[in-house]
Chains A and B, each alone.
Chain A
Amino acid sequence: MTRRRRSRVHPQLVIGAVLVGLVLVTALVSLVWTPYDPEHAGAERLLPPGPEHWLGTDRFGRDVLSQVMAGAQITLLVGVVAVGIAAVVGVPVGVLAGMLQGTGHRRPATVLMRGSDILLAFPGLLLAIVLGAVYGAGTTTAMVALGIGSIPAFARVARSGTLQVVRSDYVLAARAANRGELAIARRHVLPNIAGTVLVQCSVNFAIAVLAEAGLSFLGLGTPPPTPSWGRMLQESQQFLGVADHLAIVPGIAIAVAVLGFNLLGDGLRDVLDPRLADVAADRAEATAGGAAPDPAPDPASDPAPDPAADATATGTAPALELRDLGVRTRSGRELLSGVSLDVAPGERVGLIGESGSGKTMTALAALGLLPDGVTATGHVGLAGVPGNLLDRGERDLARLRGRDVSMVFQEPMTALNPLVRVGRQVAETMTLHGTGRRAARARATALLAEVGLPDGAARRYPHELSGGQRQRVVLAMALADDPSVLVADEPTTALDVTVQRQVLDLMLRLVRERGAGLLFITHDLAVVSEVCERVVVLLDGVVVEEGPVTEVFAHPRHPYTRRLLAASTLEPLAAAVTEGGPAADGEPAAPLIRVEDVTCTYPGRGQTVQALRGVSLAVRPGQRFGIVGESGSGKSTLLRIVAGLDRATSGRVVSAGVDLSPDGVPGRRDLGDLRSALQLVLQDPYGSLDPRMTVGDIVAEPLLNPANVREGGPATASARREAVREMLAAVGLPLDAAERYPHQFSGGQRQRIAIARALVCRPRILVADEPVSALDVSVRRQVLDLLARLTDEYSLTLLLVSHDLGVVRHVCDHVAVMHDGLVVEQGPTGQVYDDPRHAYTRRLREATPQLR
């Protein structure tokens, strides 16, 4: 997969490299050979191009070809020195500023950047003129001035690249593994920003070439008689119309050099862009089955029931009808094949599948919204609209969208235009389909009230609303014209549990009131069981099972459906540890983590945010302690404080015997003790592994700090390799995993790598922050069970943070429920789950969708 990506020829890169190579070779050749001495005026003057002098001669009778060849030397010299100066000064400044800002030292970082930004006031060309006026013009002045002028560009690029790396989860993991800032800069920051700096070098080289030519043109560059392209151009001016080749030849030379470096820069940027290369492609590939851990069952072995039979059974024409829908990419990869399903008027149909199953493609195909380069075949029919929607043009389709069929998308944060007030965006659905502007405005305001937004919401911008509120706006927008079908693609997946409940209820009510059909797409079986009447199961672009929800969930026929159902039901694991830990004989063991009355405030936008408002809890050795809460509950802040990555504002924190209380300053050694005793597993398996390191290096990283290695632990390179191999085997990864890179693994496998990294130095405490929330249902179960098993095998104490009560109940024996910066309830998991005392816990439980 990687091989194919690397071998794919990038035209810009190749053309750029060829042009740059041409300039380079010309310069090198001209050092030892040119057709004539470029500075010797030996031939007839102003000769046009001919057999003697291929590119003619200039006003002194010098050979133009020889001059252009030798001119490449100055061009490259100025470029190399100018870019060198800019990079050598700018990159360290930017990296330092980025590291400072990334570690919370905002002020010095800002001062550093402002200092370099002042140079923005002196563009290179101007600086060269000024320095030329004072110290005399010449090559050196030009190089230095152009170099200084480019420092801020490099500083900015280096800073933003560094910030991105420093804020990544893999640097957080490295910090948690007790790596120093210098090691982080060397191992993570520099390799990861090298690409962008290289791009900047190339682009800046082009700028330097242009500027040098401009300076020579003005007579402020390289003095005669040394040949220079800019001066050749300047001298050609007098002979325009007589000897145009004198202008054209150096002009082309300059353009070729600049074009070459620009193309090289652009090509490098494309090749190195993680969005284009690593993430997008590989995520898609990984989830498309290439690296998936589970063998996909053969869909043909259990043929799907014929949906056409169902449709005739209900007797009415379906509101939305998909027949034999196929979707493939331009390269011929099939994303969907033979998908048929119906949504009767007023019927609610769930479309279930994991990532990569093609469920979103189904929705987009139904509305004619497929992305570029993806085409659909088959039939899409809509009640009251004759013919096949797939045969219609964009203009025709647009008329139907919003009026007859509309859609709600997954991500409420990006689904709305950030520059337009939401009232206008809702009204637009109606004005587009013929409602007058004023009527539409009034109706939009009414609709926003109907979906439960406060007064005046119509005049708000999207960023002023919460995620749940935005999703309500999207819902109002989708239903404004009373469409007969609503397609909802994971509409509540990005929302908190209690908000999800409200939005689901609202959507159900609105759809029922309007008698609209609903195609509800989700990965969450529990949600489907609550919302839908019928369900369609999609696997790898093929429908594998279809039928009434109650029937399918009670008697799943296809093995995939059975597996999905099994993975979705998280029952408590047999409690491995009794309350109180190993020393259960009467006295409970002393807590390993003790948090007493901890508060934490930090400056937010405008006012200070109180993330924690007096939290107390104690985690005893051997416990599996769960913390449950929604976003904003303070659970992540608490976790960072316990892990020594953040400081509390007040209260007492003792973690693995290290005092982390805000009044006492823990020494480096103490923090070292803590970090060798406590390790982290983070939420996003895509962000928590450095994409440029092999899995072996990633897992070995905590061992590189000797303080993390226990006595008798792996201290040599070969011992480390052995430890890594052992750990990879323990988390169930293949032996050759160590040599491969993170992007070659699926999400679940990456999370296993993260667990291996956390356990390689044998900590006593494992802290897991939402370890499965980014994973598919079937993988989620496996990773949770692995965590639980390793907790036993390595006698760990587990602190697991999750928004999902079910996940915590599955793994943990003790749970604390957090809400609004407070622990509202804690106790044995079974008791809190079955008999919640606090109103919030009850609300959370009731809001959690249940499979039924």
Chain B
Amino acid sequence: MLRHLASHVAQLVATLLVATAAIFVLLRVLPGDPAVVALGIEASPEALAAWRAEHGTDGPLLAQYLSWVGGLFTGDLGTSYVTAQDLTPLVADRVQVTGILVLLGMLIALVVAVPVGTLAAVWHRNAGGVVLSAVSQVGVAVPNFLVGVLLVALFAVRLGWLPSGGWTAPVEGWGEFWRHVLLPAVALGSVQAAIITRYVRSAVLEIMREDFLRTARAKGLTFTGALVRHGLRNAGVPVVTVVGVQIASMLIGAVVIERVFAVPGLGSLLLDSVGNRDLLAVQSVVAVLVVLVVLLNFLVDLAYTLLDPRLRRAS
């Protein structure tokens, strides 16, 4: 178990190093000298040198990379070249917003997907199962921003029940927070619900074919009893991994949803920075997103081993 963990952690570190190096090369090295980008081609050599010294872009690239990565993991992201803002509190603030949105979206998705997917599997030969399957299939095909646009059209524009966008942090008032978070979270979660429903369905279908479920029934459990007591936990193993992977994909999907609802999350920051050509900010946000995605993949691997005793020893 410990050796297994160690090898996983080593792999995690290696992936993080390669991924951040790739980000650094893509956003810091390839676009050219940030001083020239900031001051223009006609700036004097002295001005350029002064800018470089101020922003620490005058050393060798390797040293710059190491200092940036060091800052990334110690919570110092530096100062934006464009807005001169300290990036750390800004990014930290935005991570919270996106985090709340994604977790709430996943919660909504799970509350829908687990029962619906299970029913779709149990009823897979009936009309009910076919309908559930078809609905989830259509749900997967709808882009989340379309759901967002339609939710706005209905609840904000037509009915006027909820605001069409914006954000209120929970500390500023729970009521307003819920009014703002509901639509984007539902938009993000509904499509995930469809995706996860399909995974739950296929996991439960797979389990229903297992011999041990028949054994459980031979002991005196009803079909439903056997499924609940012995099936769902086994079906949970693949579903948990899917949930992890989907949270990662929701982090990225949130970029679009934040744009629809004007939510000040990581995605909005990323898009604004791209618009401003604020490459250090882009670099930081992308790095944060990539680190989160990699960490989630790591946790998924770990959860897999914890959930299944067969893997605990084998590895």
Interface of A with B (CB < 8 Å)? Answer: 114, 117-118, 120-123, 125-126, 129-134, 206, 210, 213-214, 217-218, 220, 233, 236-237, 240-241, 244, 247, 251, 254-256, 258-259, 262-263, 266, 367, 369, 372-373, 394-395, 397-403, 406-407, 409, 411, 414-420, 428-429, 432-433, 461, 463-464, 474, 477-478, 481, 605
Pairwise interchain contact B30-A210, C-beta atoms closer than 8 A: no
Residues from chain A with a CB closer than 8 A to the CB of B56 are: none
Residue of A with least CB distance to B11: A114
Q: Is the interface of A mostly helix, strand, loop or mixed?
A: helix
Pairwise interchain contact B219-A401, C-beta atoms closer than 8 A: yes
Residue of A with least CB distance to B17: A118
User: What's the nearest-Cβ distance from chain A to residue B294, in Å?
Assistant: 5
Task: Pick out which of these stretches binds chain A: B79-87, B142-150, B175-183.
Answer: B142-150
Residue of B with least CB distance to A373: B125
Residues from chain B with a CB closer than 8 A to the CB of A233 are: 145-146, 149
Q: Looking at the complex, which one of B222, B248, B256 makes contact with A214 (CB distance below 8 Å)? A: B256
In the complex with contacts A130-B26, A259-B137, A463-B310, A416-B219 CB distance below 8 A: no
Q: Which of B1-46 contact A (CB under 8 A)?
A: 11, 14-15, 18-19, 22-23, 26-27, 30-31
Residues from chain B with a CB closer than 8 A to the CB of A130 are: 23, 26-27, 282, 286
Tell me if B188 is interfacial: C-beta within 8 Å of chain A: no
Residue of A with least CB distance to B234: A419
Beyond A372-B125, A419-B237, list 4 extra A-B contacts (CB 8 Å).
A125-B252, A244-B153, A367-B218, A461-B310
In the complex with contacts A255-B142, A398-B217, A416-B212, A118-B18 CB distance below 8 A: yes
User: What's the nearest-Cβ distance from chain A to residue B251, in Å?
Assistant: 9
Pairwise interchain contact B219-A247, C-beta atoms closer than 8 A: no
Q: Looking at the complex, which one of B140, B145, B309 makes contact with A463 (CB distance below 8 Å)? A: B309
Pairwise interchain contact B309-A432, C-beta atoms closer than 8 A: no
User: What's the nearest-Cβ distance from chain B to residue A770, in Å?
Assistant: 23
Pairwise interchain contact A477-B215, C-beta atoms closer than 8 A: yes
Residues from chain B with a CB closer than 8 A to the CB of A214 are: 143, 145, 253, 256
Pairwise interchain contact A263-B137, C-beta atoms closer than 8 A: yes
Closest 7 pairs between A and B when the two form their complex, measured CB to CB: A402-B220, A259-B141, A258-B141, A241-B157, A414-B211, A402-B219, A432-B220
Pairwise interchain contact B31-A247, C-beta atoms closer than 8 A: no
Tell me the complex Cα distance, A95–B308, Å. Answer: 29
Q: Looking at the complex, which one of B222, B249, B259 makes contact with A217 (CB distance below 8 Å)? A: B259
Q: Which of B129-170 contact A (CB under 8 A)?
A: 137-138, 140-143, 145-146, 149-150, 152-153, 157-158
User: What's the nearest-Cβ distance from chain A to residue B296, in Å?
Assistant: 10
Residue of B with least CB distance to A131: B26
In the complex with contacts A134-B26, A218-B255, A433-B220, A237-B149 CB distance below 8 A: yes
Tell me the complex Cα distance, A416–B211, Å. Answer: 8
Residues from chain B with a CB closer than 8 A to the CB of A206 are: 141
Contact with A along B214-227 (1 / 0, CB 8 A): 11111111111100
Pairwise interchain contact A218-B212, C-beta atoms closer than 8 A: no
Residue of A with least CB distance to B292: A121
Q: Which of B93-133 contact A (CB under 8 A)?
A: 125
Residue of A with least CB distance to B32: A134
Pairwise interchain contact A123-B141, C-beta atoms closer than 8 A: no
User: What's the nearest-Cβ distance from chain A to residue B236, in Å?
Assistant: 9
In the complex with contacts A118-B19, A134-B26, A416-B212, A129-B141 CB distance below 8 A: no
User: What's the nearest-Cβ distance from chain A to residue B281, in Å?
Assistant: 10
Residues from chain B with a CB closer than 8 A to the CB of A255 are: 138, 141-143, 146
Tell me the complex Cα distance, A283–B217, Å. Answer: 26
Pairwise interchain contact A415-B212, C-beta atoms closer than 8 A: yes
Pairwise interchain contact A121-B256, C-beta atoms closer than 8 A: no
In the complex with contacts A118-B15, A255-B141, A419-B233 CB distance below 8 A: yes
Q: Looking at the complex, which one of A236, A240, A373, A419 makes contact with B309 (CB distance below 8 Å)? A: A419
Q: Looking at the complex, which one of A118, A126, A247, A256 makes contact with B289 (CB distance below 8 Å)? A: A126
Pairwise interchain contact A123-B249, C-beta atoms closer than 8 A: yes
Tell me the complex Cα distance, A409–B212, Å. Answer: 10
Pairwise interchain contact A121-B137, C-beta atoms closer than 8 A: no
Pairwise interchain contact A418-B146, C-beta atoms closer than 8 A: no
Pairwise interchain contact A398-B221, C-beta atoms closer than 8 A: yes
In the complex with contacts A214-B143, A233-B145, A415-B211, A477-B219 CB distance below 8 A: yes
Tell me if B260 is interfacial: C-beta within 8 Å of chain A: yes
Residues from chain B with a CB closer than 8 A to the CB of A369 are: 214, 217-218
Tell me the complex Cα distance, A488–B77, Å. Answer: 68
Tell me if B185 is interfacial: C-beta within 8 Å of chain A: no
7 contacting pairs across A/B (C-beta < 8 A): A122-B290, A130-B23, A237-B152, A373-B125, A419-B237, A463-B309, A478-B218
User: What's the nearest-Cβ distance from chain B to residue A29, in Å?
Assistant: 22
Q: Which of B230-273 contact A (CB under 8 A)?
A: 230, 233-234, 237, 248-249, 252-253, 255-256, 259-260, 270-271, 273
Residues from chain B with a CB closer than 8 A to the CB of A406 are: 218-219
Pairwise interchain contact B212-A418, C-beta atoms closer than 8 A: yes
Q: Looking at the complex, which one of A125, A259, A401 makes contact with B217 (CB distance below 8 Å)? A: A401
User: What's the nearest-Cβ distance from chain A to residue B96, in Å?
Assistant: 20
Pairwise interchain contact A218-B15, C-beta atoms closer than 8 A: no
Pairwise interchain contact A251-B149, C-beta atoms closer than 8 A: yes
Q: Looking at the complex, which one of A241, A256, A262, A398 makes contact with B153 (CB distance below 8 Å)? A: A241
Residue of B with least CB distance to A134: B31
User: What's the nearest-Cβ distance from chain A to residue B80, in Å?
Assistant: 14
Residue of B with least CB distance to A461: B309
User: What's the nearest-Cβ distance from chain A to residue B297, in Å?
Assistant: 6
User: What's the nearest-Cβ distance from chain A to residue B5, in Å?
Assistant: 16
Tell me the complex Cα distance, A31–B22, Å. Answer: 39
Pairwise interchain contact B137-A262, C-beta atoms closer than 8 A: yes
Tell me the complex Cα distance, A445–B150, Å. Answer: 60
Tell me the complex Cα distance, A122–B297, Å. Answer: 12
Tell me the complex Cα distance, A256–B138, Å. Answer: 9
Tell me the complex Cα distance, A131–B274, Å. Answer: 10
Tell me if B62 is interfacial: C-beta within 8 Å of chain A: no
User: What's the nearest-Cβ distance from chain A to residue B284, in Å?
Assistant: 12
Tell me the complex Cα distance, A259–B234, Å. Answer: 30
Tell me if B314 is interfacial: C-beta within 8 Å of chain A: yes
Pairwise interchain contact B212-A217, C-beta atoms closer than 8 A: no
User: What's the nearest-Cβ distance from chain B to residue A494, in Å?
Assistant: 11
Residues from chain A with a CB closer than 8 A to the CB of B255 are: 125-126, 129, 218
Tell me if B279 is interfacial: C-beta within 8 Å of chain A: yes
Pairwise interchain contact B125-A418, C-beta atoms closer than 8 A: no
User: What's the nearest-Cβ distance from chain B to residue A95, in Å?
Assistant: 23
Pairwise interchain contact B293-A121, C-beta atoms closer than 8 A: yes
Tell me the complex Cα distance, A852–B225, Å. Answer: 44
Residue of A with least CB distance to B16: A121
Pairwise interchain contact B248-A123, C-beta atoms closer than 8 A: yes
Residues from chain B with a CB closer than 8 A to the CB of A254 are: 141-143, 146
Tell me the complex Cα distance, A281–B233, Å. Answer: 30
Residues from chain A with a CB closer than 8 A to the CB of B18 are: 118
User: What's the nearest-Cβ distance from chain A to residue B196, in Å?
Assistant: 15
Pairwise interchain contact A420-B219, C-beta atoms closer than 8 A: no
Contact with A along B276-309 (1 / 0, CB 8 A): 0101001000100110011001000000000111
Tell me the complex Cα distance, A218–B221, Å. Answer: 53
Q: Give the most central of A118, A240, A262, A417: most B CB within 10 Å.
A: A417
Residue of A with least CB distance to B277: A133
Pairwise interchain contact B294-A121, C-beta atoms closer than 8 A: yes
Pairwise interchain contact A258-B252, C-beta atoms closer than 8 A: no
In the complex with contacts A122-B290, A129-B255, A369-B218, A218-B137 CB distance below 8 A: no
Tell me the complex Cα distance, A17–B120, Å. Answer: 24
Residue of A with least CB distance to B294: A121
In the complex with contacts A122-B19, A125-B252, A217-B259, A259-B138 CB distance below 8 A: yes
Residues from chain B with a CB closer than 8 A to the CB of A244 are: 153
User: What's the nearest-Cβ distance from chain A to residue B313, in Å?
Assistant: 7
Residue of B with least CB distance to A16: B137
Pairwise interchain contact B211-A411, C-beta atoms closer than 8 A: yes
Tell me the complex Cα distance, A356–B286, Å. Answer: 59
Residues from chain A with a CB closer than 8 A to the CB of B248 are: 123
Residues from chain B with a CB closer than 8 A to the CB of A126 are: 252, 255, 286, 289-290
In the complex with contacts A237-B149, A240-B153, A255-B142, A121-B19 CB distance below 8 A: yes
